Each structure stands twice: as structure tokens, then as C-alpha cells.
């Protein structure tokens, strides 16, 4: 028992450094997903049919292929082929971000479609171009409505980020595995990792819930 | 109004046709709108009133026909020309269509800033002035969800007025309101009419129409089938379709406003 406690305490700073890497990758992937997802959603709702088709293909591809396959495909395949020398963490962030972009686009698309069409009409009637109306009227509302879906997406990416372990990224899972296999304290180490993931999920969901409240529009019930 | 026909019309709608979902909604509708004039569209639902109004600022692009504002024909395929044209033609919707994420003041000021390029302070001052004009000076900080229907519609009127439109199109502005809120909106519209705003309004408010309309257009099945002064069309015993229709709605709605 004492040995277990010693191992856990010794491993804690090491695994927490891994947690910092995990969080960096997840936050990076969330934002990359946001920057990919918003144009994809706008393209799918308002675009010409060619744009809609292209956006649809992107979503279809990234939703249809397992993340593990994508990680290998991009890290060992495509990035190498393109001569990009990305670290395992960076590569995982990019792949998770691109995948998340596909999922996030569907969250945003749903939010955009849930807004009344009349607001876009009213914006046009005031002389706004469609681009301006989407930027200043549609997206500010759609993004607010997307926060609950976003916190779901956060918890999914956080857990998927454990897959970066297979690329050799030195995140929570890799470090836990390393300590566990050297000390043979498998059960306590993986339980700790599970608790750590749980706490990170919880913290993120709480933070997003706070954001949701903060940007809420008074009296607005959707 | 006596010299009306000697002047050129402010807005000219010529031979507008529109099909929606395989159904002919408008069949070659034309009208000339003179400065300071108030035309009222009445007729059964599905008759094309709302479609005509939406075609008049190209929220719907007509299949045929053209629209001129101050003698200039508008080409709806040119995005910039279209946005410019729409700034001059204000639109009031039945269900207000306020921007839900913006306060009343911001609802009015956003297009001033982003379309007209006013500074934040200028736009805010103008928005306050317009809200004051519709009797909502103290409601500027409220969001649409915090306003009553009548207040929302007045904000939407302020929002349209702030753009200094040459023409206002009103699509049943009081139809979505609780009965006790109708008069506050009609009062604002009456004020506009008396100040010489050029307007086309679809409405079933017959009392209002009688007292303020320069011309009544009765629409049915996508055509204007009767037009004339309210006095002529609504005179007892005139035997017009307009009178017939209006007596039907008056039976349902009581005396009207």
C-alpha cells in the first residue's frame, strides 16, 4: 500500500505535465475545429450547391474514418509526404481539430437552422449584404446556441486525445502507461488517469457552462 | 394629391410576376407610388399582398417585371446595387424580426454602423432619437425578449426609419399583436403618414384605412382587381369586391380600429 502511494506521488508531477500537454492539444483542437466548423456550417446552409457539396464531403470524410486511422494517415502518411515535420502532439492537435471541425460544423449548422429566417430577411431589408448579415446577426446568435453542444464536443475531444499516445505524444495516457509498466502499479495508475480525465472533463464543462451564462441574452428563451 | 399625376412616381412597379412552389402568386402586378402617398393592400390571404411587398424590395426576386426607384431601374443581380436600393426601401414585418441578441438601441444602430458607416456614438444618438420618436426612449437597453409585441413592432419601425428610407413597406404590421397593443403601433404609423412618409401597407385595419389611405388596392389571386380611394371603394352600396370583403372581416373583428 505504501509503495502504491509513493509511486503515485512520484508520478503525479510527471503525469500532470502530461495533462498540460493534453489540455493544450484539446484547446488547440477545439479552436481549430471552430475555425473550420463555422465556415463549413455557413457553407452548408447558405452556399451554392458546389460549396454545399464540398463542405458535405469534408464532413462525411472526417466523420466516416476512425480517428486512429486519421492519426496514422496524417502523421505517418500525409504530413511526411508533404515534408511537414510536425511533432506528435502538433500532429494529433491538427487531426483532432480537423475531425472536430466536421462535428462542430453540424452543431453550428443546427443552431443556424434553428434561428428564425425572418432575421436574415430583416437584415437584408436594411441593406446588409448576406456576408455582413451572417457575421453580425446570424453567427452571434448561432454561436451562443452552440455552447451546450460545444461542451459535449470538448469532452469527446478530450477523451479522443488519449489516442495521441499511439503517435508517441507525451500526454496523460502515454505517461501513465510509462509509469505503470515500469512500476507494475497498473491498477492505481490507470485509475488515476481515469480520475484525471474525469476532472478535466468536469472542469471544461463547468467553464463552458459559465461561459454560456455569461453570454446569455436577457429574457431569451430558445 | 391633386398634382399627383403630373409628377413622376417615386417608385414604379411594372408587370411583376412571381411563382412560388409551382403556384403563380403574382400575375403581372403594376403600381405607381407617388411621394407622400399611402397605399393600402387588402384582400384575402394567399392573394399575393405579402409576396408583392417582398418583391418590392427584392427580398423575393420577381420572375418578370421591373421596379424603378426615382426613375432608376434596379438590377437585383448586382449585389451592391441591391443593398443600396434596399436601404431606401424600409420594410416592416408582421412578426417584427428584431435581432434577438441585440438591445432595442443596438437593433436600430447596427445597420447605421455597419451599412451606413456611422461611428458608434453617432449611430447610438440616432438610434435614441428614433426610439424616442416611436415612444420608446426609456426602453433602449432592453432586449427583444423583454419587450411586448407592440414595443417590438415600434422598435422595428424605428430600425427602418433610422435608414432614412424613401418608401416604407408594411406587411400586416399589427396582425401578430394582441388586440390591446394594436393602437400603439397604428398611432406610430399614423404619425408617419401625417409626416408625409410614402408607404405601402398590407392591413385589415379598416378604420385606419378609411382615414389614412390615399388609395386602396384590393388583391386577389395575384392580381390587383380593384383600386381607388377608400371613399369610393368602401362607400355603402358601391357593390365593390372590396366592400364585400371588408364587411366580412368587420363581422369577424368588430368595428375595427
Contact at CB, A217 and B87, closer than 8 angstroms = no
The pairs formed by A128-135 with CB atoms below 8 angstroms and a separation of 24 or more are A128/B83, A128/B111, A128/B114, A128/B115, A129/B79, A129/B83, A130/A46, A132/B114, A132/B115, A134/A42, A134/A46
CATH number for the domain harbouring residue A29: 1.10.3720.10
A54 Cα distance to chain centroid = 21
pLDDT band at residue B22, thresholds of 50, 70 and 90?
Answer: confident
Residue among B97, B101, B114 whose CB faces A122 most closely: B97
Distance from CA of B51 to the nearest CA of A (A): 13
Q: How many C-beta atoms lie closer than 10 Å to residue A16's C-beta?
A: 13
C-alpha cell at B248: 366580412
Rounded CA-CA distance A113/A118 in Å is: 12
Say if CB B127 and CB B93 are below 8 A apart: no
Q: How far apart are CA B215 and CA A154, in angstroms?
A: 60
Query: Which pLDDT score is estimated for B241?
Result: 84
Q: What is the DSSP secondary structure assignment for residue A138, as one 8-state letter?
A: I
Range of the domain at A29: 2-214
User: Which residue is it, cell 405579402?
Assistant: B50
Q: In sequence order, what are the residues at sequence separation of 6 or more whose Cβ sits closer than 8 angstroms to the Cβ of residue B173?
A: B92, B93, B94, B153, B157, B185, B189, B201, B203
Rounded-to-integer distance, Cα A207 and Cα A137, Å: 25
Total domain count, chain A: 1
CATH fold, domain B4-99+165-253, is: Rossmann fold (3.40.50)
| pLDDT over 90 percentage in chain A | 70
When the pLDDT of each residue in chain A is averaged and rounded to a whole number, the result is 91
In a domain? residue A222:
no
Nearest-by-Cβ selection for B111 from A116, A127, A220? A127
Residues of chain A contacting residue B96, judged by C-beta atoms under 8 Å apart: 118
What the block records as the C-alpha cell of A71 is 492519426
In chain B, what residues touch A118 (CB-CB under 8 Å)?
A: 93, 95-97
- Please count the residue pairs, one from chain A and one from chain B, whose beta carbons lie less than 8 angstroms apart: 81
**Is the model's pLDDT at B41 over the cut of 90?**
yes
Contact between B26 and B10 under an 8 Å Cβ cutoff? The reply is: no
pLDDT band of B255, cuts 50, 70, 90: very low
CB atoms within 10 A of CB A64: 8
Residues of chain A with pLDDT under 70: 1, 221-222
Contact B97 A116 (CB under 8 A): yes
Q: For cell 463552458, name the residue.
A: A208
Question: Measuring CA to CA, which residue among B53, B80, B6 is closest to residue B175?
Answer: B53
For residue B252, the model assigns a pLDDT of 57
- Residue-wise pLDDT for A15-73, tens only, equals 888 899 999 999 999 999 999 999 999 999 999 999 999 999 999 999 999 999 999 99
Amino acid at each position: 500500500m505504501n509503495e502504491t502511494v509513493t509511486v503515485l506521488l512520484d508520478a503525479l508531477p510527471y503525469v500532470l505535465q502530461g495533462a498540460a500537454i493534453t489540455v493544450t492539444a484539446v484547446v488547440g483542437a477545439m479552436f481549430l475545429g471552430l475555425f473550420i466548423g463555422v465556415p463549413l456550417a455557413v457553407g452548408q446552409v447558405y452556399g451554392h450547391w458546389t460549396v454545399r457539396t464540398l463542405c458535405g464531403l469534408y464532413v462525411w470524410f472526417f466523420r466516416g474514418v476512425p480517428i486512429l486511422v486519421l492519426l496514422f494517415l496524417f502523421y505517418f502518411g500525409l504530413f511526411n509526404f508533404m515534408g511537414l515535420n510536425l511533432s506528435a502532439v502538433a500532429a494529433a492537435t491538427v487531426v483532432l481539430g480537423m475531425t472536430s471541425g466536421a462535428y462542430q460544423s453540424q452543431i453550428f449548422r443546427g443552431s443556424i437552422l434553428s434561428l428564425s429566417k425572418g432575421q436574415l430577411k430583416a437584415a437584408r431589408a436594411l441593406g446588409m449584404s448576406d456576408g455582413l448579415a451572417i457575421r453580425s446577426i446570424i453567427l452571434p446568435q448561432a454561436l451562443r446556441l452552440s455552447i451546450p453542444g460545444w461542451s459535449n464536443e470538448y469532452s469527446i475531444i478530450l477523451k479522443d486525445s488519449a489516442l495521441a499516445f499511439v503517435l508517441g505524444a507525451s500526454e496523460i495516457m502515454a505517461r501513465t502507461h510509462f509509469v505503470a509498466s515500469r512500476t507494475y502499479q497498473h491498477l492505481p495508475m490507470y485509475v488515476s488517469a481515469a480520475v484525471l480525465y474525469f476532472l478535466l472533463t468536469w472542469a471544461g464543462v463547468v467553464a463552458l457552462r459559465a461561459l454560456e451564462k455569461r453570454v446569455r441574452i436577457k429574457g431569451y428563451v430558445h | 394629391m391633386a398634382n399627383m399625376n403630373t409628377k413622376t412616381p417615386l417608385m414604379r412597379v411594372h408587370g411583376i410576376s412571381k411563382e412560388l412552389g409551382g403556384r403563380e402568386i403574382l400575375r403581372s402586378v403594376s403600381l405607381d407610388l407617388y411621394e407622400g402617398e399611402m397605399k393600402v393592400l387588402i384582400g384575402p390571404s394567399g392573394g399575393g399582398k405579402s409576396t408583392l411587398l417582398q418583391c418590392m424590395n427584392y427580398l423575393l426576386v420577381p420572375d418578370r417585371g421591373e421596379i424603378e426607384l426615382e426613375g432608376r431601374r434596379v438590377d437585383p443581380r448586382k449585389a451592391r446595387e441591391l443593398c443600396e436600393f434596399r436601404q431606401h426601401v424600409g420594410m416592416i414585418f408582421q412578426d417584427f424580426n428584431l435581432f434577438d441578441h441585440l438591445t432595442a438601441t443596438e437593433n436600430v444602430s447596427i445597420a447605421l454602423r455597419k451599412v451606413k458607416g456611422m461611428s458608434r456614438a453617432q449611430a447610438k444618438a440616432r438610434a435614441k432619437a428614433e426610439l424616442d420618436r416611436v415612444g420608446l426612449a426609456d426602453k433602449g437597453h432592453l432586449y427583444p425578449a423583454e419587450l411586448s409585441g407592440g414595443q417590438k413592432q415600434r422598435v422595428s419601425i424605428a430600425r427602418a426609419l433610422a435608414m432614412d428610407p424613401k418608401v416604407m413597406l408594411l406587411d400586416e404590421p399589427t396582425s401578430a399583436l394582441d388586440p390591446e397593443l394594436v393602437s400603439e403601433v397604428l398611432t406610430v404609423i399614423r404619425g408617419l403618414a401625417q409626416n408625409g412618409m410614402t408607404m405601402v401597407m398590407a392591413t385589415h385595419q379598416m378604420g385606419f384605412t378609411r382615414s389614412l389611405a390615399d388609395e386602396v388596392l384590393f388583391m386577389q389571386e395575384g392580381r390587383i382587381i380593384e383600386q381607388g380611394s377608400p371613399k369610393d371603394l368602401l362607400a355603402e352600396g358601391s357593390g365593390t369586391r372590396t366592400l364585400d370583403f371588408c364587411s366580412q372581416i368587420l363581422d369577424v373583428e368588430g368595428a375595427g380600429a
